Structure 1
Amino acid sequence: MNDTRGTRVLVLNSGSSSVKYQLLDMADGSRLSSGIVERIGEGPVTDHSAALKQVADELAAQGLGLDSPELAAVGHRVVHGGTRFTEPTLIYDEVVEAIEKLIPLAPLHNPANVTGIKVARELRPDLPQVAVFDTAFHSTIPEEAARYAIDTATADEHGVRRYGFHGTSHAYVSRATAELLGKDPSEVNVIVLHLGNGASASAVRGGVCVDTSMGLTPLEGLVMGTRSGDIDPAVIFHLARVGGMSTDDIDALLNKRSGLLGLCGDNDMREIARRMGEGDESAQLAFDIYVHRLRKYVGAYTAVLGRVDAIAFTAGVGENSPAVRGAALSGLGALGIEVDAVRNSPGYRWEVPPGGSSARLISGPSSRVAVAVVPTDEELEIATQAYALVQG
């Protein structure tokens, strides 16, 4: 609980080689500053401590220093909260220790998240710091969706279950979609398609997540930029036995050399679209596989939800690729889903009021299901959750 009258929240996203930051004023949700410190460990930015100090210096140069009484909290993005952390959490020593114990579940992300937390606490030990977990929004998934059909004792011993990721984005977008429809989130069933280099889908019933495509790790589910998404588990055994590949080799293959990159050599949808326009068959096939998987998940989550009020596209590809949106939902008229070709075209001009949301509908007039493009705002979601917690 924080008794400060400050309304500003600094959001930190500490990655393995970068620190992204945004300073927001929760009085009106405005961004006061944002930036990124990259190539940590190279050159003058030797470690995360140096990176965070650079962030502090950049903010101070703008008159927005970390010593400002207007600063109410620091919100940290933490990728994996396991089953313990299912909501925003004030950070104390025991919380840091618990996040460290979850590193085996997110070895590429949680270590950097923890380092960022430790350095930020050193810089402002008196300031409330809040961990907001990517997995938290998906913690409401029922057991029949969260459990894998493997030996229960083995699964429990090693924490093997569906956790899901991109939770702050799915939370924000599902709520913003309801707002776009003029309804309370509790009244709306939404399928959220977060399509960036990493991609995930979620089924949200009345504001509560009931299923999501990513699993124990961010590898499961949709075809992504460099990740395979869903795959027969026996492929791993086959590659080990027949291909002589090690566990690390297969891990690198499925996470870094698969997905769109593995299929056609590019993981940028803009470049793939350009190549498709030139008749490139491998780019076309990669695109077709990508949208085929999307369509399968839309159908599956329609069955899970029973009633779908809206489908929301978000993140880099979801927000900027009319071709992906149109192809993913084509032929789904029987499910009440129709995309308006004009509204979905790249040249269509949308009027966005000053300071207003750029969320928009692209569904046709006869579509029973609203189809929306809703720009995500994970930093605002983290700030909102952190500020609500410290203000009590």
Structure 2
Amino acid sequence: MTRVLVLNSGSSSVRYRLFDGSEVVAKGHVERIGEAGGAAADHREALQGVMDELDLTGLAAVGHRVVHGGERFTAATVITDEVAAAVEELIPLAPLHNPGALTGIRVARKLLPDVPQVAVFDTAFHATIPPEGVLWAVDRELAARWGLRRYGFHGTSHAYVSRETARVLGRPVAETNVITLHLGNGASAAAVRGGRSVATSMGMSPLPGLVMGTRSGDVDPSVLFHLHRVAGLSLDEIEESLTRRGGLQGLAGVNDMRQVLEHRAAGDADAALAFEVYVRRIREYVGSYLAVLGRVDAITFTAGVGENAPEVRAAALAGLEPLGIAVDGARNDRGERVVSPDGSPIAVCVIPTEEELEIAEQTRRATGLAS
């Protein structure tokens, strides 16, 4: 089989998986790059260490996770100098994520100059959302000039999980409509019709939509004006508050759903309210996407919270039985693949996401290694 190395390069970390076909033959991560006491002085040293450690015999390609592809990149793309330059130009849309990915790309291309390398974009899966689903009612000249529109994220996860849901249901992907709920420290929802995204909760950035670990999700835009004009906060302070001190952290004082559930069980009122805000927001998006899709075959939970928190799954869909949505308590507690009762009009599924495998598969397709 052809081997593919998947790299997820952050500002101070590199996570990697080496695939032989669909089998993971090596994986790991290097953290605190460039920090005192860290494992490597810079990304070049970190990646050189990774490649020295791995058996790269038969390596056919390298796939890089890139968060933001803007409007230009709507599919996985073989990296050239021009593509790398375009990723750099997109940094203003993803200032926390694209710089790390770009560094990983540049270093890996130097270390493996004869191996094809591919950028796989989180935003690409959502390029099929129709114009009415990506445009906001703002000044169109401003929107066109500054790229103000919905892009969406977690695309590799939503793509993989929606296909796997169809497989679990025994239906062709092209005939299956799914609402996918990627619930991790970052969280997003998507409406997928026949394998194509038609709506998603994140926007120009990964900030809006569902409640997350430290990100606020949806807020009234006038909150920003109020905090600036009345409270006197700078734009940087507002961004810091909404992205790092919002979400579960802002409501409950902890950003991990496991801790929220523990505190809630112990009678913590703030944790209990945070939980209710969290699941209500999910329920609101499920209702919205039922309307967008018209016919829904399944609602699928994935990622750390979605896969491992039966309390969240049950509460998020509670009260939706008249719409054909129900959760079987015993199946849900066991974490079965299908946790809805037999015969439910809309299946409720739990599908572990495999974003790195999806990146590897898209890398193979982009380089002609797979059909």
TM normalised by structure 1 equals 0.92
Question: Quick one: structure 1 residues 349 and 137, their matched pair in 2 at CA, closer, same or farther if it must change by over 3 Å?
Answer: closer
1:211 maps to what in 2? 199
**Does residue 1:291 correspond to 2:279, yes or no?**
yes
> Which aligned segments of 4 or more residues in structure 1 are displaced greater than 4 angstroms?
none
2:11 maps to what in 1? 16
Question: 1:52-99: per-residue Cα shift (whole Å, max 9, x none)?
Answer: 11111221xxxx13xx2x111000000000010000100000000011
Which residue identity lines up with residue 389 of structure 1 in the other structure? A
Question: Quick one: structure 1 residues 336 and 16, their matched pair in 2 at CA, closer, same or farther if it must change by over 3 Å?
Answer: same
**How far has the Cα of 1:366 moved from its partner?**
4.1
Q: CA contact under 8 A between 2:308 and 2:335: conserved in structure 1?
A: no
- Aligned equivalents of 1:98, 1:391: Cα separation in 2: 23
Q: CA contact under 8 A between 2:307 and 2:335: conserved in structure 1?
A: no
- Aligned equivalents of 2:195, 2:364: Cα separation in 1: 20
**Does residue 1:51 correspond to 2:69, yes or no?**
no
Q: CA contact under 8 A between 1:338 and 1:366: conserved in structure 2?
A: no
- Aligned equivalents of 1:225, 1:342: Cα separation in 2: 27
Find 2:232's aligned residue among 224, 244, 259. Answer: 244
2:244 maps to what in 1? 256
1:332-343 alignment to 2 at 5 Å? 332-343=320-331
- Aligned equivalents of 2:175, 2:84: Cα separation in 1: 37
- In the comparison of the two structures, how many residue pairs are matched? 367
2:129 maps to what in 1? 141
2:116 maps to what in 1? 128
- Aligned equivalents of 2:15, 2:176: Cα separation in 1: 33
1:1-392 alignment to 2 at 5 Å? 7-26=2-21, 29-42=22-35, 43=37, 44-59=39-54, 64-65=55-56, 68=57, 70-345=58-333, 348=334, 360-391=337-368
- Aligned equivalents of 2:335, 2:150: Cα separation in 1: 40
Query: What's the % identity of the aligned pairs?
Result: 63
Which residue identity lines up with residue 52 of structure 1 in the other structure? L
Question: 1:208-237: per-residue Cα shift (whole Å, max 9, x none)?
Answer: 100000000000100000000000000000
**How far has the Cα of 1:365 moved from its partner?**
2.0
- Aligned equivalents of 2:353, 2:156: Cα separation in 1: 9
**How far has the Cα of 1:391 moved from its partner?**
2.4
Q: CA contact under 8 A between 1:137 and 1:171: conserved in structure 2?
A: yes
Q: CA contact under 8 A between 2:335 and 2:350: conserved in structure 1?
A: no
- Partner of 1:331: helix, strand, or coil? coil
1:353 maps to what in 2? none
Question: 1:140-175: per-residue Cα shift (whole Å, max 9, x none)?
Answer: 110101001100010010001000000000000000
Q: CA contact under 8 A between 1:339 and 1:367: conserved in structure 2?
A: no
Which residue identity lines up with residue 324 of structure 1 in the other structure? V
Which residue identity lines up with residue 377 of structure 1 in the other structure? E
TM normalised by structure 2 equals 0.98
- Aligned equivalents of 1:47, 1:334: Cα separation in 2: 56
Question: Quick one: structure 1 residues 104 and 140, their matched pair in 2 at CA, closer, same or farther if it must change by over 3 Å?
Answer: same
- Aligned equivalents of 1:248, 1:47: Cα separation in 2: 27
- Partner of 1:361: helix, strand, or coil? coil
Unaligned regions of 5+ residues in structure 1, if any?
A: 1-5, 351-359
- Aligned equivalents of 1:72, 1:372: Cα separation in 2: 34
